[in-house]
Structure 1
Amino acid sequence: MVRDVERIPVHRFTDGTFQLDSESVASECLVHVHINDEHLTSLLASPQHLDDLVAGHLQTEYDVPNPHDGHNVAVSSEGDDIHLHLDIVHGAGLTSRNTVVTTSCGGCEQDMLSDLVSRTPVVSQTDSPVSIERLIDALERMRSDQPGFGRTGGMHAAGLLYPTTETLVVREDIGRHNAVDKVIGAHCRSGTTTRPQALLLSGRCGWDILSKAATMDIPIVASIGAASSLAAKSARSSNMTLVSFAKGGKAVVIGPVEGRIQRNH
C-alpha cells in the first residue's frame, strides 16, 4: 500500500548555501473507483481513509445514499495507482468519467457559471444556531487533528461540527474537495442521524465545496480562508451561511444570519 507521506531527497537552501537533505511530502495517488466491476471515475487523492472517500464522493457527486450498504471496499494497488472495488445496490446507471478528477478540480465539467449556481441544492433551516466563537474554536481545534499537514505542510483538512458534542470528525487530503468527500463519507458510514451543524475548512471555500455541503443539507460552511465570488452567490441562492476568515475573534458572514448564527451580545 502507498504511504500517506513520502520522504524524498532535496537541496535545502539556507542563508545563501545549499545542503543535501530530505523532506516529507504528501503522497498523491491515482485512485480508480470501480462500482459493480465497472470503472466509474479516477481521482487524484491522498491514500488514507479511502472507504470514506468513496462513500462521500458517491454521495456528493452521484447522489448515492449510504453506498456501502454493509459492504467493505476492496483495495488493491499497482505502484502509485490504487483500485477501489465496491458492489452497491444503486450502482446501475451511474455515468462513468473518462477523465481524471484532479486535486484542484471543482466544476470542471460545467460550461456556464450560472449552471453551477442553479444546480446547488437549497438548504433547509436549522433549529441549532451556532456562535461565531464556537466556529472559530472548532477551526482552531481542528488544526491539532491534522497530522498530515503537520508533517508535510501540504494537506487540506475538512471537519464536521455537531450540535450535541464538542468532538470533531476530521479528514485530510491533498485535495480540498477530497477532504470534504472523506469527512462526509465518514459521516455517512457512521450511521448517525444527527445533522451536522457546520462544515469546517482549513483553507478557502469555492463553489465546489459549498455545493457538496448543500448536497448534505449542512447549513453552515466555516473556513479559515477566503470565499470565492461563486461560493458567495451560491450561498445566497441556496439559503446557506458562509463564514469566511474565521479566526482571531473575527469573521466575514455571507448569507442568512438569523436562525443560523447565535448572537452572544
Structure 2
Amino acid sequence: MTNVVRTGVQRLEDGKLSLAEEQLATESLVHISVNGDAITTLLGSPEGVEELAIGHLMTEHGVFFNAISNVHAVENQGVVSVNVDLSSEHALIPRASLVTSSCGACEQTNLPDLIASTPTVVDSPVDVDMDDVLAAVRTMREHQPSFDKTGGVHAAGLFFGTNQPVLVREDIGRHNAVDKVIGAWTQHSSSRPKALLLSGRCGWDIVSKAANAGIPIIASLGAASSLAAKTARLCNMTLLSFVKGGKAVVIGPVDGRFKRKH
C-alpha cells in the first residue's frame, strides 16, 4: 500500500460539475504488537510503518532502540500489522481503544500527572543557530511529496545541525509523523537531533514525545497550545511556533541553548 490513492470525483467550477480524478491520502489501520502481544491500534498512513512502530514504542512506552531486535510488517486487505521483537522485558500497557489520526493522548484521564512526569531535557553545549532551525522548517516543506499530491498529510522533521540533511517523514496523523521520523532517526543517523520540526501546530502530546526522545527544541509552522507551552517550560524545552521566514514566537529558554548574535 502507498500513502496516496486515486479516485474518481466531480469538480465544481463556475457552477458546473465535471468528471475528474483526485489523489487522496490513504488512511489505514495499523496494529502494533510486541513479542506477539497486541499493544495498540493506530489510524495512519501505510508507508513506513516499521519506523512508526519503533518511534511509537520509544515516545509512548519508553522503549530504548537497542532493546529492539526485529521489526516485521504485513498488510492484509487494507490493515497493516507490525510486530516488534524486544530483546529485554518491558512492562508495556496495551491500549484498548483506537488511536485515530487526529488523536494524541485522548484516552488519558490524568493529564496533570502526565505533564508532571514528562522528563526534563538536558541538551549538549550551545551549538545551535536559531536561524538554521527556522531554515530547516522551510527545507522540510521541500520534502513532502504526499502533501504535494493530496494536501492531506502532516510532516515531521529532525534537524541535526548546520549543513546537515533534514530527515523528514509524512503521515495522515501528525503524532504518527513524529513517531515515524523518530523511528527513522534510529535507522539513518547516529547523531542526536537538535530540533523537531512540525508542519502544523504543537500540542502537549508532541512536546511529551520530543522530551521522551531527548530533543530540546521544537519548531512548528503552526501555533503552540497552552499545555505545550507549560510543559516545555517545565521540561527545559524551547518552542519556536508560527515559524515563517525568519520570524517565530519563542517560548522557553533561549540563553545557553542558541548561539548568540554578534
Q: TM-score, normalised by structure 1?
A: 0.93
- Identical residues among aligned pairs (%): 50
Q: Which residue does the alignment assign to 2:21? A: 22
Q: For residues 68 and 147 of structure 1, do their structure 2 counterparts lie closer, same or farther at Cα, with a shift above 3 Å needed?
A: farther
Q: Which residue does the alignment assign to 1:53? A: 52
Q: Which residue does the alignment assign to 2:61? A: 62
1:136 partnered with 2:144: no
1:256 partnered with 2:253: yes
Compare 165-174 and 110-119 and name the one that shifted more: 110-119
Q: Which residue does the alignment assign to 1:9? A: 8
Counterpart AA for 2:226: S
Q: Which residue does the alignment assign to 1:198? A: 195
Structure 2 distance, partners of 1:247, 1:179, is 21
Deviation at 1:264, TM superposition (A): 2.4
Give SS of 2:240's match. Answer: strand
Q: Which residue does the alignment assign to 2:123? A: 125
Give SS of 2:86's match. Answer: coil
Please give the residue correspondences for 1:132-211 in structure 2 after superposition, counting only pairs within 5 Å.
132-163=130-161, 165-190=163-188, 192=190, 194-211=191-208
Structure 1 distance, partners of 2:252, 2:87, is 37
Q: Which residue does the alignment assign to 2:219? A: 222
Deviation at 1:126, TM superposition (A): 2.9
Counterpart AA for 2:200: G
Counterpart AA for 1:77: E
Deviation at 1:91, TM superposition (A): 4.8
Structure 2 residue runs without a partner (length 5+): none
Give SS of 1:148's match. Answer: helix
Structure 1 residue runs without a partner (length 5+): none
Runs of 4+ in 1 over 4 A off after TM superposition: none
Deviation at 1:136, TM superposition (A): 1.7
Q: Which residue does the alignment assign to 2:228? A: 231
Give SS of 2:227's match. Answer: helix
Q: Is the 8 A contact 1:32 1:43 kept in 2?
A: yes
Q: Which residue does the alignment assign to 2:243? A: 246
Q: Which residue does the alignment assign to 1:36? A: 35
Counterpart AA for 1:227: A
Please give the residue correspondences for 1:92-103 in structure 2 after superposition, counting only pairs within 5 Å.
92-103=90-101
Structure 1 distance, partners of 2:237, 2:100, is 26
Structure 2 distance, partners of 1:198, 1:23, is 35
Deviation at 1:164, TM superposition (A): 5.9
Counterpart AA for 2:256: G
Please give the residue correspondences for 1:52-91 in structure 2 after superposition, counting only pairs within 5 Å.
52-66=51-65, 69-71=68-70, 73-91=71-89
Q: Is the 8 A contact 1:224 1:245 kept in 2?
A: yes
Give SS of 1:154's match. Answer: coil
Counterpart AA for 2:75: S
Q: TM-score, normalised by structure 2?
A: 0.94
